[in-house]
Homo-oligomer: A and B are copies of this chain.
Amino acid sequence: MIRKYAVIGTGAIGGFYGAKLQKAGLDVHFLLNRDYEYVREHGLMIKSAEGDFHLPQVNAYQNVNSMPPCDVVIVSLKTTDNHILSQLLPHLIKDNGVVLVLQNGLNIESEIAEIVGHKRVMGGLCFICSHKVGLGEIHHLDYGAITLGDYQENYQACGITSRMKDIAEDFKQAGISITLTVDLLLARWKKLVWNIPYNGLSVVLRAKTNEIMMNKYSRDLVEKLMNEVAQAALVHHRVITQEFIKKMLDDTAKMTPYSPSMKLDYEAKRPLEVEAIFGNPLRVAQQADLEVPRIYMLYQQLKFLDYSNSIEY
């Protein structure tokens, strides 16, 4: 059986992975918005460090009602657009299909479970550096691995399921490096250890990762924020070790200078994913009466900047 994939959000993430899947012979259907006319005519162009490729023709849709029911619905919108999902997903997912969430942040799967039921959701964490640079055109700069985890109610760890393996097969066939995790929630918290300090501070300090790591004050603040994330993860009984934090710091210090997605969004005056990446983890801590003052302060600063960025003084 060739699985049918839908991609909701044909940008840096969905455009890249969707194009790779189609190139590998899978049946992929792209929902588009502003790019619809262009992509229907010209397809998708992927400029990649691993080799450029062009798909002259793709299944492009402007309206979800024209799309076929799919086995796997990849959600790769910005989380700030997730409010449209309750309209889209029920039409698109087969009864025994699954929504694969490729987004940053926390509690995304449980929000989507409220739409499609908790048996039809899984999550993937993308370690990738890619940007949409124009209509139907995506630049893939580096990395690209996905950590895939299945979801069940309340993020109980659910082992390696057969549908995970099936989807992983498709992705591997498409040349995408994939790791299976038995504990999606732990994987999400681990990704937050990186995303919370670097996405947040890159906006507030107008700085790339290397600049943040070269200054002793901001580097120490990164470490303190990482430790607050680790404390918050304990509320969910997920343990993040000091070794993991040290590795994140060391790896980032060695990394090519990088502008996190939130910095690019801020500079382009697009909405920031503040609630998914900061608000949801913060509320987990608050509900357990755990103080995470630095995450809270960064959240407040980003809420201000997101708002002031959206208006002209």
Cβ < 8 Å to B, chain A residues 273-313: 293-294, 297-301, 303-305, 307-308, 313
Complex: how many Å from CA A301 to CA B297? 12
Is there contact, CB below 8 Å, between B301 and A204?
A: yes
Most buried by B among A212, A218, A297, A299: A297
Residues of B near A299 (CB, < 8 A) are 217
Counting contact residues on chain A (CB < 8 A from B), the size range is: 20 to 34
* A207-245 interface (Cβ within 8 A of B): 207, 211-212, 215, 217-218, 220-221, 224
The count of identical subunits is: 2
What's the minimum C-beta distance from A207 to chain B, rounded to whole angstroms? 6
**A217 touches which one: B206, B212, B303 (CB < 8 A)?**
B303
When distances are taken between beta carbons in the complex, the residues of chain B under 8 Å from A298 are 297
Q: A201-B301, A207-B308 are in contact. List 14 more A-B contacts (CB 8 A).
A: A211-B313, A215-B307, A217-B303, A217-B307, A218-B301, A218-B303, A221-B300, A221-B301, A224-B297, A293-B294, A294-B294, A294-B297, A297-B297, A297-B298
* Interface set of A (CB-CB < 8 Å, partner B): 201, 204-207, 211-212, 215, 217-218, 220-221, 224, 293-294, 297-301, 303-305, 307-308, 313
